[in-house]
Each structure stands twice: as structure tokens, then as C-alpha cells.
Structure 1
Amino acid sequence: MAKTVAIVGAGPSGLVAAKTLLHDAPPEQHFRVTIFEARNRVGGLWPASKEDDDNGGGMVHPMMVANQSRHTVQFSDFAWDPRSPQFPRAWQVGRYLHRYLDRYCGDAELRLGARVESARLSDPAAAVDGEHGAAAAWDLVVRLADGKVEERRFDHLLVASGFFGRPFVPSFPSTDPTLPVVHSSQYRSLEGLLGKDGGRGGKILVVGGQMSGVEIAGTIASHLSSATHSPGPSPIRNPEKYAIHHVVPRPAWVFPLYTSPKPESVAPPFVPFDLASYNLSNRPSPLLNTQGHISVEAAQIAHGNYGRVLGTDQAEFSPHLTLRHREFDPPLIAVSDTYMEFVRDGLIEVSLGKLESINGRTATVAPPAKAVDNIAAVVYATGFDSSSSLSFLPESVRRTLRIIPEDRDNTVALAFHGTHHPSIPNLGFVGFYRAPFWGVMEMQARFLTALWSAGGPFSSSLPATMRSALEADRSIERTLALRTDPRASQFPMGDYPFLMQDFASALGIPLRDPFGVTPRLPPSGKPMNILTPPRYHPPTPRNQHQQQEVDEEAEVQSSLRQTHETAMAGLTQARFVARAVFRSLLGTWHLERDLVSRLPSHPSGRFVGTARFLLREGTRDGGHAKAEDDDGSPSPPLEYLYVEEGDFRADNGLTFRATRRYVWRYDEARDKLSVWFTRPDDGRRVDYLFHEVDFIVPATEEDEEEKGEGWEAKAGHLCVEDFYDVHYRFRFRAVHLVDWRLQYTVRGPKKDYTIDGVYRRRTS
């Protein structure tokens, strides 16, 4: 007889749990699955529309870019469309989940708009029953969208309601009731944040220094930059009068989306940063857990590795973000393509400390006490209280799980990497921890399916590998100890490769070989060995029709192929270099340019000044080819307004003020950097194409390293009868541009000159 399972939550955790229970249980065991979802859609955090289909109530902005690539944000048996961006936006992740639901969860009973209000054991005394476990069933009370209430009974209860239950907002009331205050998850736009205050100017105070704090500060700064420098009317009045003030307790290492496995090279190749991070070739096998308690030695090693990947201790951006002299602290990491350059350029100011109070429109940050005045709005990036995601459980169960309000990290005492508690064997968890990598969610679902199929954690039917894993497991003790450990890591369950290895060992799933072989890379001198979920797909799916087995294997092979092709494109074909250059151009550069004219009618001379790359949303002027999202809708490329200002001193002694403007664009779909002329009557609008930039793969690695000149690129442009022969050199230190050079020769009936300009970061 089939066992019934209630799954609470239809996000990625709930969907992968449903699929696994339905399709991957052994032939002798069947599960009937019902999914309860309080929202009227599936996807959990991930919306499936570019519009905010939660009317501002969702946890994720639909246009937010995922901070892991599609090679990590995926399930093993469902490949992304190869046309999808490497780092999909939130709404694209939502679409992926809808397709996954249609493919694998058709046999589940899906109840949308159905909130589980309470779940109680039919025999409360069985809640904590030692080695015998709970034999009682689960009785659920479910409230439907129309207000009606249903009661249902199930053999098993699986919690997939998510760690991000309710935004946590500290109690710092201001005496100014008009001061806008939101949680970072609720921010959508400048006009939505500032409301009637728009136009007054001031500081947007962002509170919180970990992942969400860095991300939201960079996002709001991008919106301010775009509002200030885009053509046409601004969404708010006087956007140039606003800035970000970011309050962080201590600095984090901030990674861009693309990093290099060869950071010492001045012409480094680039790949999505998680491909390099999850390169098993750089870790000894078997893997040991690097997260949880972080010793001083482990912290020093981690800081050294992060500094090597980024090529900096971050002091060049702000003294408050430097990691110098902090190598003994457990490290923090964050991800943003824009944050660090906005800090360097001054749009984001950083204060170290904690928010102590808000009085009117003045905040106090300490220690030491510092007043931050003229606050226009407050955005709290202070995490979530996950207790609301578990409020439906009975008090006796919550006591068993050791849930306490004062635990700000919302840890739950669960066995074997967050899957279950042995005292309540028919209660399971998937994805209930911070940083729930999709591969781990899938492994948790497999582990619970195997555990329940065998009859529970104390069953004699357990496979030997699972029995050994459970006997050796110390997850509960470890979780409780970390609550008071001052050296606890940022993400106690953050070692993704280790978790995947430990689950695979318990489940007897071998690691598949990579799809192909990449070039050998430092520091190991071995090819990349990239961990992705498809590499842990079971070789022989069980309890499936033969055609579905074939289809799943085709999905696995497609995903493995995509990851290998992405790595090879980055390592051997200069793919993503244009993206890395574009990202690192943001901000202000010191420019020195020599002009040598071979015609007496045009004087030679030298220009000295600044070049500013001002980030803004993509525009559609100029008749350029439009990229398309994977749903076919047009998506304009990213772009900068380039503004150059300075003094030109001619060889004949004449000096005058000079300025010029262009628009630089990056087209992600084509991985192409391009430069456009602006209109004479409107210096913010694109007129027509100047040139597209083609990066040149070095003939040999040795030649490029000997030159020490970085990435070479070229372009050409025929302007009426004049031909512009353009050459670039971009020199990196790890992920950041150190300097770059632009040379071009112009020849035509009335022009014959050469320009040679060098761009360096402004030092003051």
C-alpha cells in the first residue's frame, strides 16, 4: 500500500522532494504526494514573471540576477535551455521550476492557495519515542484561499517551506514618521522606496554587511546611476542628490560573477565564479568539511585564497573594506558586480559598526559613535526569521527540534545535514538551511526517500552505507554547538562539495566523470573537475518507465555538456573577457592621451583628464541588434554613458577644454562589447555604432605572459571616407582592470593621425 506524504511548500525544495518521492523510490515502495503551497503559484522565492506577481510581497525581485550560475542552480535531471544566460534572473529561475513541475510532478496533488495552519501527530505521545520512533500519522489543518478549512491525514510530513520565512526588521523607530523604512527583500524601485520624499535628496541607509546587504546596496546604487545618467525623464526627481550609506559590522570579500582560475595572469581567462569555486581538482580527496567552526589556521588559509582570487585586500576601494589584519577572523563573502566600484567612486560610502539608533533623519553608528545625517530612507538587510516557516508544527515537536527565538541564525537541530530528527522519523526537511544549494536539496530529497522507503533511521532494512552514515553523524550536536561558537562560519552548511560527497557516500551514488577534459590549471596543475548536480545523478534510475530513464539521461548529458562547453569557451576562446572588462570599467579613470597628426592643418598634442563610465539601464537607440530573453522578449544590453573631460595642450602652445561622449554596451547573448557615438543634440542618447570590440586569443600562453600587456582586442570603423583602425590592451590583476590602453589610427582624404591613450584608476 502506498504511503502518503504531505509536502509543505512548492519552491525548489518542495518540487524536487515531490519528484524524488514519486520517481526514485525502490519498486517495492510507492508514495502518494500532496504539495501544499500558501501562494497561488509554485516557485517559492522565485517568481515566474518579469512583473512582480506577488505585488511587492515576494522575497525576490523578478529581475534580480542569481548569485550562482545555472550550472549550480539546477537539478541533476533537468537541463537549462542552452540559450539561457549563465546567471539567470529570478523570473527565469521561476520559469525553470514551472517546467520542472510539468515534467516530473504531474502525479502529485498540487494544492495552491492552501496554507498549512497546523500539523499535529495523531498520537502526541509518539512525538518523542526514542529508538522506536513515531508511529503516529500527521493530521493537517489547511486553510484555503476562499477561507474554507480542510483536515487531512498523512503518513509522512516533509517541510519544504523555506528558511526565508519572515523578513527580520530591527526595532529602531524614528521620530520622523515620514521616513521610508523597508526590508531589502521588499525593495523594487527608487520611486517605490522614496515615495513622496523623492527629490529631497540625502542618504539611503543600508544596514547589514553580508550577502543581501552588499547586493542591495549595489542594486540601489545602480538604480541611482541609471536614473541620473539615462536619457529622458528620471523615475525620481534629483537622483543626483542621493547616495548610499552602507553600515557593515565587518567587511566581506566581494566576488564578481565571473572570476579566473588563473588570477596571476595579466590576461586571465574568465568563467562563472562557481565553476572555479567548485573545482574539485583544487581540494584533496576525500573532502573534509571546511565550514562550521573556523580555526585561526583555517581562516588564514581562506583569506589567502580569497585574496588570491580577487587580487586585492580591498583597501584600494575603501579603508573600511580592507581585509588586511583581519586574517584571523572567520571570513565573510558576498557577490556583486557593481558594489566595489561604486564604493571606489563614492556613490556608496561605508561605515564599520552597528546601527544604534535613529533620531528623526539622523542615525548613530557605533563603535565609535558616528552620526549619519540627512537620511532619505532606510533599507534593512538584516536577514530573516524562519520561525514562521515552522509555526504550524506542534510545540512538542518544536521543543524536540530545539527551536529558540534567541537563535538569530534560526538553526534547527536536525540529523544528517538537515534532513530529519531520529525521534520523529516520519518528519523530514529539505532545503531548510541558509545557502540551500540545489544539488544538496536534491540529495536531501533522495536521502529522505531512501530513509522512509527502508522504514526509518532504525530499520534493519537500511542499506549498509546509510546505516554507517547515520551512526557516524553528529549533525545535531554540531548544530547546537555552533549556536554559541564565536568562530562559527558565515554558512554552517556552506561546504557544498563536502555535503554532496557525504550524501553520495551514504546513498551509494558514484561521482560521474566530467563531460570532457579542460586544459591543466594552477595551483593543482590538473584539468578542472567541476562539481555540478548532474555528476551525482544515479546511473540507474529506479521505479521508472524505460523511456523516462532515457529522457533523464539525456537531460544529464545535456547539462554536463553545457558545463564543459562553458568552461572550455572561457579557458580557450576568450569567452566572458568582454563581460569582465565591461564590469571593471565602472567608475572614474585618469586618462592621458597623445595625438600625433601628420597633417599641418590638424595640430598634434596631449590630452589629460578623466573618463567616467556611468552605469545605466540599456537603451534601444541606434538600431543595434537586440538580444532576446529565453521567452523571446527583447532585452536591451547593459551599457555605460562614457563622459570624458580634460585639457588638450597642442604642440603649438594652444590649450583648450575638451570633452567627448560615447555609449559602451555589453550584449550578454553575443558576449560582445561595443562603442557607440552619441547624438550631437543629446549627449545621453545613442546615435550610431562606432565599432564592436573583438578580443584576440593569444597565440601561446608563454608569448602573452612575456609581453605582460594583457588582453588584446581590435576593431575597425569606416566613417564616410575615413577608416578608424582601433587597438585595445586590457591589463588585469586577477578580476580587476589595472589599466588599459586605446590606440587608433585614422586615415582618409582629409585625416591622417594616431591617438594613443592610457587609462589608469584615479588614486584620489
Structure 2
Amino acid sequence: MPKRVCIVGAGPSGLVAAKSLLHGTPKGTFDVTLFDAQTRIGGLWPSRKDDGTGLVHPRMVANQSKHTAQFSDLAWPEDAPQLPLAWQVGQYLAEYRQKYCSEASFSLGTRVEKAEPVTLATVDGSWSGWRVQTRSTEGEVKEQSFDHLLVASGFFGKPALPPVSRGDHEVPAIHSSQYRHLQGLLGKTGGSGGKILVVGGQMSGVEIAGTIASHLSSAVHSPGPSPISNPEKYTIHHIIQQPVWVFPLHTSPKPTASAPPFLPLDLGSYNTSNRVHPLTNSQGHISLEAAKIVHSIYETVLGTDQSIFSPDVAVTAAHTGNPPYLTISDNYMDFVRSGLISVSHGKLERLSGREATVSPSEEQIGDIAAVVFATGFDASSSLSFLPASVKETLSLNPTDLSNTVALAFHGTHHPDVANLGFVGFYRSPYWGVMEMQARFLTTLWAAGGPGSASLPPTLTEALDLDTSIERTMALRTDPRASQFPMGDYAWLMQEFASALGLVRSPPLGAMPRLPPADKEMDILTPARYPPKTLSEAQQSEVVKSVKQTEATAWAGLTSARFVARAVFRSLLGEWKLERDLTSKLPSHPSGHFSGTAKFLLREGTRDGREAEFDALAGEDGDPGLEYLYIEEGDFKASNGLSFRAARRYVWRYSERTDKLSVWFARTDDQKRADYLFHEVEFLVPKADGMEGGGNDGKGWEAKAGHLCIDDFYNVKYQFNFKAVNLWDWRLAYTVKGPKKDYTIDGVYSR
């Protein structure tokens, strides 16, 4: 008779647990029922563009690529973006459920209210299990018995709001997970302006500050009516406790190259050929020496200590002895540089009326229009159904948002609570670790639990040597605890694989070689750890997934893939522009232009690309982002004339085609695009020096051509990066036609 398993939660953790239990042992070992309070599967991840009911905006860009946000035996569609939107992740999960969880029972719209461990006398001895009480959205209460209880209700349970949020403030105050758009935060019409206060300086704080800044920028610089009144009168004030490293979504595996190649952030981060094997844990307690090393690595990857953006976000020598904190945002730093985001260090002490006080400096921040608390989640709410005795055994500490409970073998179980397991209950639950946790519990329970003689020897040894509970308890009071205390991703995958007797599969083919060790890339993805037994269909998915990752790595390192995106991201803000015009015809005088060029971020618009835009909206509803380019300055001609000059363009980046394009602005409405000027074609460097990069130190070069009636524009670009950031760049073009023969050469610098 199969063992009945109750899974609480039908998000990624619940689904991969169900799949493992149903397929990871001889069929029929487990009978699985999943309960979820939501009326859909997916947990945090909505599967529709218009589903705004969850904790994640459906259009949020995942901060891990599709190569990491996946399970081992389901590849993403070939045309899926490298960085999927939240609703696309939801669709991936829907396909996973259909493919692997059809034999599970789903009770959606049903909340688990109580779960009590019970032991009953039977004719065969005794039975230990769980009595579970549930309540449906219609109010129907049921009680059922299960052999095992598996918690997959998610670490991101209930938004955590500090006591100061309940002060006598006079402005809207929400948690970052509730933010969707400016109208929802400020009201449909907005107001007279002021500061939007963002509280919290880790992942969600940086992400939400950057998101709100992009929405404000779009409201100001897009054509047509603004979604709120006076958007130009709002700014963002961000309170952080210490400077954090802000990584863009794409980084370079050769940051010192003059023409650095780019890859999605996680492909470089999880290239294990750069680490000593067997891997040791880089998280947990961070020594002074280890902290300095990691800070140095981060500075090399970014090419700066971040002082180029503002001294308020610089990670200086005063900070490098502390454990490093990493966050991810494509545009946060350039919005700081532009002044749209200002930063204060400290802790929000008081919030009264429209004024905030920051300790310990007692800085007063006035004219507050709204507050967004990016203060994390109360994970203990996800365990509300467990009895007090079990919570005590698990050493539940609701105030410790990183180490809420103390669990054995990397967050999977507790030896003193029979038949209770956990999957994905920790900060940053990378999908590969979730899958490993599910496999671990499947093997453990199928063999009869800890101490069973039926356990595989590798698992018995791993359990004997495990110190996860002691480690968690020690980290609760450790002032040098890391950002992700449970362990680093690659090390966790190694430890689970060793316990389960899994071997990471080799790459399918040769991989690019990278400095400093001149070794082939060895990128860790879930597909590198497939199940021990694979059906033909599963094997096909594994191969497809690994091929996608390897093809992406090769494309990023041997072509100009992702360079257009890196350039586009780094253009945001204001540049100093010096341009020479040299004419061969007396009718067009030569001269020099000196001024500024501003790249003003906004949501993608339809103008000039109606058919493409409508097709894109019909497929995924994401027009992407674009810039309104405004150039202003003084032109001094060689004949002595001087006048004020200005011009406007619209710059666009297409995720689908990986193309950067420049469009003329309309003369009757200069916020709107008119027609295409040119597409930028990046040129692959001729040489590839291991340390210095190729292209003879010239940076990334690009070209374009455009025929305008009888005049041909021959365009040349040169983009000079310092690691991930565009340092300066040059735009030159010659124009030849019946009445034109001149050259323009402009240099842009910060």
C-alpha cells in the first residue's frame, strides 16, 4: 500500500517534491496530495500576464536566467528569453505539472490549518503519521491522515513590516511585494510630488527602488498623458544600512578585456572551473580575510568600487572587512548617478506625518509622499499550521528572517520530528537545490527514515557527518554571518549529489576557455544533475537544456551576443558630448558642438514599429524599454557663427533580436519616434588576447548605414567599457549626397 504524503504548497518546491516522490522510486511507493491556499499552482510565480494577486508582479524580470531557473528534465522553449518574466516562469511550472505531476492530487484554494503528529496502535504494531485539517475557500473543513507531511509553503510567507510602519504617518505605506505601479502607490492622479521613501537595502530594496525609478522616468518622458500628475516632481530616497554591491543582469567573464564579452550573470557565477574541488562552502561565517577576497572579486567584476555613481553607494576600505552583500539591478546605479535616487545610511527610526528620522545620524527626511518597505518576509507564517511543540523542536525564531528554523541536512528535515520534511524553505531557494532536497527526502522516506538499515551507504554517511542544525543555531548570533547563511549554491549541489550518489554529467562538447586558469567553462545547471534513471523523453529534455546553456556560453564568448544589451543598459543618464563637424562643401560650414546628451529611460512605445509591436504584445505583452535621447548644446561654426543646437532620437533594444536601433523623433511631437535611422551592427574583435581582450584596445566597434532620400549615412561606433560599465564612447559618421559631404565625430563621456 502506498505511503500517503501531504505536500503544503504547490509552487516550484511543491511541484518538484511531488514529481520526485511519484517518479524517483518504484512507482506506487507514494501517493501524493498537494494543498495550496491559492486557486492556482506556481506559488510566487503567476502564469498569466494579468495576474497581479500574488507577491510577484507578472512582468517582473527574473534575476536568474532560464539556465538556473529550471528543473533538470524540463528545458525551456528555444525562443524563451534568457531572463524570463515572472508569468513565463509560471507557464514553465504549468508545463512541468502537466508533464510530471498528473498522478498527484491537487486541492487548490484549500488552506492547511492544522497538522498534528499522531501515533496509533495497529494490529501490526503502531503507525506514526500526521492528521491534517484543511479549509477550502468555500469554508468546507476536512480532516485527513497522511504518512508524511512535506512543507513546501515557501520561505516568502507574509510580508514583514517593522513596528515603525505603524506610526502616525500621513502617507501611503506598502510592502515592496505589493507594489505594481505608480497609480497604486500614489493614487490614480498622484499628487504634488515629494520623496518616495524606500526602506531596506538588500535584494528587494535595490530592485524596487530601481523599478519605481524606471516607472517615474517613463511617466515623465513618454508621449501622451502621464499615469499620475506631476511625475517630474517625485524622487526616490533609499535608506540602506550599508553599501551593497549592485550587479547588472549581464556581466563579463573577461572584465579586464578592452572589448569584454557578456553573459547572463549566473553563467559566470556558476562556472565552477574557477574553484578548487571538492568545493568548500563560501557562505555561513565569513572571516575578515574571506570578506576582503570576495569584495575584491566583486570590484573586479564591476570594474569599480561604485564611487563613480555616488560616494553614498561606494564600497570603500571601511566596508571591505564586513561580509559582502550582493544585489541585482540593471538600472539602480545609473538612477543614483542621475539623482533620481538618493541614498541615506542607517535605520528608519521614526515615521511621523510626512517626515522620517534615520538613526544613528538623526537625519531628517521631509516631504515624503509614500513609503515602500523592502524589509523581507516573515517565514514563520508559512508554518502556522504546525503545533507549538513541533515549532519548539525546530527552534523556530520568527525574528530571524534568515535562520527561521534549524533543520538537518541542508534544510530538509529534523531527526526528532518523524515523517516531516522541507523543500525550498530557505532564502534564495535556487531551483537545483529544491530538486535535490526533494530527491533527498524521497530516498530517505522510501528507505524508512534516518537510521534505517535500508539507507544507501552514501546517505548514511552524509547524515552521520551532518552539522546543519548546530551551524544554523550558531549563525543566529554570529555578527559575521553571510547574506545567504544556508550555503552557496554550487557547494550545496555537490553535497546533495554526494549523499545521493549522483554524478554531475560532463559537458556535451568542448567549452570556451577562460582566464585566469585558462580552463574550459564548467557551468553548473540543474540539468547537469539529471535523475539516475531517465526515460527517453526526459533524456531529450536534459540534452536540450544543456545544449541551450553551452550554446549561450559560446555565443557570448565568440560573437557580439549580449553586447547590445550591455551598451543599452549602460547608456542611462547624462553624458558630456564634444563633437567636430568637418565639411568639404562651403554651403555647410565646419565647426564644433559642445553640450550634453541625455538618455531618458521609458517603457517601449509603438511609434514607427506598429506591426512588430502589435505582434510582440500578442505574444508576451512586453514591449521592453527604450530611451528618449535629448541632445542640447552650442555649435560654433568655423565662419564665426554660434548658435544653440538640439536634436532628439529614440534608442531601442530588442531582447528578441538582440539588436540596438536608433530612430528619428517626430518633428510635431518630439517624444515620439518617427522612422528608423539605423540598426547598430557590432563587430566581433579580430583577436582574443586572454588577458587584455581583442580589438587592439579599441573597445567594441560597431557600424551602421542609412540612405535618407539621396544622402547616405555611413555610421561608426566605438564603445569603451570598464568591465560592465560603459566608460566613454564615440559616434562618427560621414554623409554623402548631391549636396552633402561632411564628417561628424562625437565623443561621449560621463
Task: Report SS of the residue matched to 1:425.
Answer: coil
1:32-63 CA-partner distances (Å, limit 9, x unpaired): 00000100000000011111342xxx110111
Task: Report SS of the residue matched to 2:397.
Answer: coil
Q: Determine the structure 1 residue equivalent to 2:600.
A: 614
Q: CA deviation at 1:519?
A: 2.4
Q: CA deviation at 1:346?
A: 0.5
1:562 to 545, 548, 553: 548
2:429 to 406, 429, 436: 436
Range 410-419 or range 736-745, more displaced: 410-419
Q: Determine the structure 1 residue equivalent to 2:119.
A: 123
Is residue 97 from structure 1 mapped to residue 93 from structure 2 by the alignment?
yes
Letter in 2 for 1:649: K
Q: 1:468 to 1:379 in 2, by over 3 A?
A: same
Give the Cα separation in 1 of the matches to 2:70 and 2:454. Answer: 32
Is residue 83 from structure 1 mapped to residue 75 from structure 2 by the alignment?
no
Structure 1 runs, 4 residues or longer, greater than 3 Å off: 173-178, 627-631, 702-706
Is residue 38 from structure 1 mapped to residue 31 from structure 2 by the alignment?
no
Task: Report SS of the residue matched to 1:432.
Answer: coil
RMSD: 1.6
Give the Cα separation in 1 of the matches to 2:24 and 2:684. Answer: 46
1:540 to 522, 530, 533: 533
Unaligned runs of 5+ in 2: none
After TM superposition, list the pairs within 5 Å mapping 1:362-511 onto structure 2.
362-511=355-504
1:238-271 CA-partner distances (Å, limit 9, x unpaired): 1000010000000110000000000001200000
Letter in 2 for 1:421: H
Q: Determine the structure 1 residue equivalent to 2:669.
A: 682
Q: CA deviation at 1:358?
A: 1.2
Is residue 145 from structure 1 mapped to residue 145 from structure 2 by the alignment?
no
Give the Cα separation in 2 of the matches to 1:717 and 1:538. Answer: 53
Is residue 749 from structure 1 mapped to residue 738 from structure 2 by the alignment?
yes
1:444-477 CA-partner distances (Å, limit 9, x unpaired): 0000000000000110111000000000000000
Q: Determine the structure 2 residue equivalent to 1:71.
A: 67
Task: Report SS of the residue matched to 1:323.
Answer: coil
Is residue 16 from structure 1 mapped to residue 21 from structure 2 by the alignment?
no
The 8 Å contact of residues 84 and 630 in structure 1, kept in 2 or not, is answered as no
1:585-604 CA-partner distances (Å, limit 9, x unpaired): 01110000000011101111
Letter in 2 for 1:480: M
Q: Determine the structure 2 residue equivalent to 1:128.
A: none
Q: 1:302 to 1:647 in 2, by over 3 A?
A: same
1:143-186 CA-partner distances (Å, limit 9, x unpaired): 01110100010000000000011101112257765410000000
Task: Report SS of the residue matched to 1:498.
Answer: helix
Is residue 246 from structure 1 mapped to residue 235 from structure 2 by the alignment?
no
Give the Cα separation in 1 of the matches to 2:620 and 2:42. Answer: 21
Q: 1:155 to 1:539 in 2, by over 3 A?
A: closer
Letter in 1 for 2:633: G
Q: CA deviation at 1:709?
A: 1.3
Give the Cα separation in 2 of the matches to 1:242 and 1:196. Answer: 15
Task: Report SS of the residue matched to 1:136.
Answer: strand
- TM-score with structure 2 length normalisation? 0.97
The 8 Å contact of residues 245 and 348 in structure 1, kept in 2 or not, is answered as yes
Range 196-205 or range 499-508, more displaced: 196-205
Q: CA deviation at 1:124?
A: 9.9
Give the Cα separation in 1 of the matches to 2:84 and 2:486. Answer: 24
The 8 Å contact of residues 561 and 658 in structure 2, kept in 1 or not, is answered as yes
Give the Cα separation in 2 of the matches to 1:430 and 1:490. Answer: 20
Give the Cα separation in 2 of the matches to 1:407 and 1:635. Answer: 37
Give the Cα separation in 2 of the matches to 1:382 and 1:79. Answer: 34
Letter in 2 for 1:668: E
- TM-score with structure 1 length normalisation? 0.95
Is residue 345 from structure 1 mapped to residue 338 from structure 2 by the alignment?
yes
Letter in 1 for 2:631: E
Task: Report SS of the residue matched to 1:215.
Answer: helix
After TM superposition, list the pairs within 5 Å mapping 1:311-330 onto structure 2.
311-325=303-317, 326-330=319-323
Q: CA deviation at 1:406?
A: 3.3
Give the Cα separation in 2 of the matches to 1:626 and 1:666. Answer: 13
Give the Cα separation in 2 of the matches to 1:741 and 1:472. Answer: 59
Give the Cα separation in 1 of the matches to 2:194 and 2:554. Answer: 47
Give the Cα separation in 2 of the matches to 1:177 and 1:288. Answer: 48
Is residue 167 from structure 1 mapped to residue 167 from structure 2 by the alignment?
no
1:726 to 711, 715, 729: 715
Query: How many residues end up aligned between the 2 structures?
Result: 742
Give the Cα separation in 1 of the matches to 2:263 and 2:166. Answer: 45
Q: 1:550 to 1:564 in 2, by over 3 A?
A: same
1:180 to 172, 180, 183: 172
Task: Report SS of the residue matched to 1:172.
Answer: helix
1:635-668 CA-partner distances (Å, limit 9, x unpaired): 3242100000111111111111110000000000
Q: CA deviation at 1:318?
A: 1.2
Q: CA deviation at 1:704?
A: 6.2
Q: 1:149 to 1:190 in 2, by over 3 A?
A: same
Is residue 581 from structure 1 mapped to residue 541 from structure 2 by the alignment?
no
The 8 Å contact of residues 626 and 637 in structure 1, kept in 2 or not, is answered as no
Identity of aligned residues (%): 65
Give the Cα separation in 2 of the matches to 1:164 and 1:377. Answer: 24
Give the Cα separation in 1 of the matches to 2:55 and 2:441. Answer: 27
Letter in 2 for 1:367: P
Range 187-196 or range 14-23, more displaced: 187-196
Give the Cα separation in 1 of the matches to 2:387 and 2:128. Answer: 14
Q: 1:630 to 1:456 in 2, by over 3 A?
A: farther
Letter in 2 for 1:411: T
1:106 to 102, 126, 130: 102
Is residue 523 from structure 1 mapped to residue 519 from structure 2 by the alignment?
no
Q: 1:265 to 1:124 in 2, by over 3 A?
A: farther
Q: CA deviation at 1:633?
A: 4.2
Q: Determine the structure 2 residue equivalent to 1:604.
A: 590
1:705-763 CA-partner distances (Å, limit 9, x unpaired): 463110000000000000000000001000000100000000000111000000001xx
Give the Cα separation in 2 of the matches to 1:53 and 1:367. Answer: 38
Q: 1:200 to 1:176 in 2, by over 3 A?
A: farther
After TM superposition, list the pairs within 5 Å mapping 1:275-314 onto structure 2.
275-314=267-306
1:534-576 CA-partner distances (Å, limit 9, x unpaired): 10113424xxxxxxx0000000000000001111110001100
The 8 Å contact of residues 677 and 687 in structure 1, kept in 2 or not, is answered as yes
The 8 Å contact of residues 535 and 560 in structure 1, kept in 2 or not, is answered as yes
Task: Report SS of the residue matched to 1:479.
Answer: helix
After TM superposition, list the pairs within 5 Å mapping 1:675-714 onto structure 2.
675-702=662-689, 705=694, 707-714=696-703
Task: Report SS of the residue matched to 1:421.
Answer: coil
